[in-house]
Chains A and B, each alone.
Chain A
């Protein structure tokens, strides 16, 4: 080791010992308030405020009584906190003939969303798996058609589907809407799964085939456990998409089976009586609660899934 030391001495300078003690060492210090940090955090704060201020206004308004709202200061925190508007929005607000609030719409939406999500993801994941791994005859054509389908504007298909649903007797029912959502979710979900499964090394699939596994065994035992992050992504996309849908809900269901979004619209836009802003705000927040909840619970997984797709795809 001695000669290494001498080499260092020659290279560093006249007095290596003091150099070593006083010179920079360890992690480079960074100023807390650099221009860069101010810029980054400034931007983040502005963007966060942009989204949070309206939410704040909604929350405080929904907790005020009507007299307080008439004072006109929308930013002021509520003086008398009341949950009356929330109860009303959920249970007694009137839409047309029914006066049972959003609760009916909520359960309708649940009954629409759950089967739509399960059905469309089950089919799309098998589609994606078959398209990327089994390369059956006509696979490319099939995929092209599916993707073209994703680019056709919904409006073009609305009326043909009305006729179709009427013919099979599902027009105006929840199941009709489930079918519609499953069909319209199919292209994007299939694309998502196909890309994910394409990023799985082909040799893994070959190894499983040599090991004797068939179509379903490879899907369930090999591919499915590997694809969990992408399933989470698909579930989130589909839940928020179906829950937030308004157009299909209005068209393909009847007042009894309206999803929550349509009912929300009817409450907010009802022309009879005074506009109850507090009830409207509460109803809106209630409707948005499900996607919000989904994001909070699975946000981390969602990001991870998107990242997994991005890196490998």
Chain B
């Protein structure tokens, strides 16, 4: 059953069309992450689902009910904001119970629900404090609790961890994941942190300029991006892109990619489309490149000259020159590569992504 269903949603601020006829179906209990650059309309989409913005066109269904014209409180949603948005003059308990009091829930039931949410989020000891007396992580827990007490169908998160430092962020990320396993609610989560997206999501929707570019599992998005934009957006450092021409006459007579004096055999590449444009863009992720003795076993290998070595702890990023073009690859943390060295690198073209240079779509 679909939990949230969006049909042809259009939203304009004056003349600016922020969401363009956007459609999206989210399964019951799914964790969907909206990922995209700043200003692409993620928060706007979330606010539309919440009912905090009046949409220009389209429909929104939650649990099969058309909520397009309903007030936020009648939609069965709870929302968690980046800035926590706790009511400053109320205690934690007051914050948690505000929504229930507004809905005129009996007092003993409020107490029971607040106690349960506090237990789930481990904030029992904080119930009598004011928000100003809490740390960032604690505040965000309270904010999540505010959605929790109201037994909502759908949780909406708008960059909930962006204001936290790196360590807390990874802690709370795991907790949100645990919460999702426990509650099995539908969750829609906005972020521009790829790690959060990849670790939390059942599916990721990559957005750009108010349009969903790809909606798929993290694995699919990472390994089989549908277009050049998604390929470039996911991954840090990003994919290596090489412009080249697609020709026949490779080994075994299969297709091959030529750029400069290099040719890459593509007989193992799983072409999805039938079209074979001449101009293409070939992309390979830095972490899919091997280096040294292992490189010789790969279907494709070449010599590169190393320009810069960036040790990053767990691994090392190497910037090199392949046939006059910049080329990055990752090796493990204690490599003894040095600037100026010549090494052999290799990769399996089956793990690459090839895009039509004109349409920028995956081949």
Contact = CB atoms under 8 A, between A and B. Distances in A.
Interface in A36-77: none
B87 A222 contact: yes
The A contact surface, by secondary structure, is: helix
- By size class, the interface of chain B is 20 to 34
Contact of B81 (A206, A212, A217): A206
Contact of A210 (B73, B83, B88, B89): B73
Given A212-B99, A212-B103, A213-B102, A207 B85 contact: yes
B79 A210 contact: yes
A226 B146 CA distance: 20
Contacts of A203: 81-83, 85
A217 B47 contact: no
B148 to A, nearest CB: 12
Contacts of A226: 88-89
Given A203-B82, A203-B83, A206-B79, A211 B102 contact: yes
Given A203-B82, A206-B79, A213 B88 contact: no
A212 B102 contact: yes
Interface in A201-238: 201, 203-204, 206-213, 217, 221-222, 225-226
Contact of A213 (B50, B98, B143): B98
B25 to A, nearest CB: 23
A214 B194 CA distance: 37
B52 interface: yes
A129 to B, nearest CB: 15
B77 interface: yes
B311 interface: no
Contacts of A206: 47, 50, 52, 79, 81, 85
Contacts of A208: 87, 98
A204 B89 contact: no
A212 B73 CA distance: 5
Contacts of B102: 211-213, 217
A154 B66 CA distance: 54
A305 B82 CA distance: 27
Contacts of A201: 83, 85
A211 B99 contact: yes
A209 B75 CA distance: 12
A212 B149 CA distance: 13
A275 B146 CA distance: 71
Contacts of A212: 71-73, 99, 102-103
Which of A203, A211, A217 has the most chain B CB atoms closer than 10 A to its own CB?
A: A211
Contacts of B86: 204, 207
Contacts of B349: none
Nearest to A224: B89
B87 A210 contact: no
A210 B77 contact: yes
A222 B86 CA distance: 10
B52 A209 contact: yes
A24 B85 CA distance: 47
Interface in B79-127: 79, 81-83, 85-89, 98-99, 102-103
Contact of B72 (A209, A217, A222): A209
B41 interface: no
Interface string B247-287: 00000000000000000000000000000000000000000
Contacts of B99: 210-212
Contacts of A210: 50, 52, 72-73, 77-79, 99
Nearest to B52: A206
Contacts of B85: 201, 203-204, 206-207
A140 to B, nearest CB: 12
Contact of B146 (A207, A221, A222, A225): A207
Nearest to B89: A225
A203 B159 CA distance: 12
Contact of B79 (A207, A217, A221): A207
Given A208-B87, A208-B98, 14 more contacts: A201-B83, A203-B81, A204-B87, A206-B47, A206-B50, A207-B143, A209-B52, A209-B71, A209-B72, A209-B73, A210-B73, A211-B99, A212-B71, A217-B102
8 contacts: A203-B85, A206-B50, A206-B79, A209-B72, A210-B73, A210-B99, A212-B103, A213-B98
Interface of B: 47, 50, 52, 71-73, 77-79, 81-83, 85-89, 98-99, 102-103, 143, 146, 150
Interface of A: 201, 203-204, 206-213, 217, 221-222, 225-226
6 interchain residue pairs of minimum CB distance: A212-B73, A211-B99, A203-B85, A207-B85, A203-B81, A212-B102
